[in-house]
Amino acid sequence: MTNKKDSTRFDALFGATKQKKQTREPTDSKPVRKSKSTDPDYVRTTVYLPKQLHKQLKAAAADEEREMSDIVKELVEQWLKSRSEHSDV
Would you write out the chain's pLDDT as a tens digit for each of its 89 residues?
555 555 666 777 777 666 666 656 666 666 777 799 999 999 999 999 999 999 999 999 999 999 999 999 999 999 999 999 988 75
pLDDT attached to residue 34: 78
Q: Full-prediction pTM beyond 0.85?
A: no
Domain borders along the chain are 41-89
State whether CATH 1.10.10.200 applies to domain 41-89. Answer: no
pLDDT attached to residue 21: 60
pLDDT attached to residue 32: 73
Q: What span, in angstroms and rounded, lies between the C-alpha atoms of 26 and 31?
A: 10
- The number of beta carbons lying within 10 Å of the beta carbon of residue 18 is 10
